[in-house]
Amino acid sequence: MSAPTDVQIIERNGQPEYAVIPYEDYLSLLHSQTEGEFIPHEVVEISLFTGGNMVAAWRRHKKISQTELAQKLGVSQSAVAQMERPGYNHRSNTLKRIADALGITIEQLF
């Protein structure tokens, strides 16, 4: 997206009310939102509750049990429990498998 030099601000009662941007910029913003690069507020809240573990937060948000995630990953439930411990160091290939199993991107696990 280009620098916001083509933005038109529409005011109401002396206060900014709307920002009008070129359609191309709008489409670019819309596309970036649909790429799954966001993290729902509920996931952030769960992450804070679970000591910052995004695997546990996403699993709970998606309403998937540890056993169900373990089956999708081809590991034991206790392995998933270990992965959900705060500070657990995931390998990149494991993160990819977890993200795929949860239907999210790897970036959403950070």
Here the CATH number for the domain that contains residue 74 is 1.10.260.40
Whether residue 18 sits in one domain with residue 67: no
Which contiguous run of DSSP H or E holds residue 102? helix 92-102
Residue 55 belongs to domain spanning: 41-109
Asked if 69 contacts 54 with a C-beta cutoff of 8 angstroms, the reply is no
Q: Give me the number of domains the chain comprises.
A: 2
Flag whether pLDDT at 12 surpasses 60. yes
Whether residue 94 sits in one domain with residue 56: yes
Flag whether pLDDT at 46 surpasses 60. yes
SS3 105: coil
Whether residue 26 sits in one domain with residue 71: no
DSSP 13: T
Flag whether pLDDT at 32 surpasses 70. no
d(CA 104, CA 19): 31
What is the rounded average pLDDT of the residues 52-61? Answer: 93
Considering the chain, what percentage of its residues have pLDDT values greater than 90?
50
Q: Give residue-wise pLDDT tens across range 62-105.
A: 999 999 999 999 999 999 999 998 888 888 899 999 999 999 99
Whether residue 103 sits in one domain with residue 56: yes
pTM of the predicted structure, to 2 decimals: 0.66
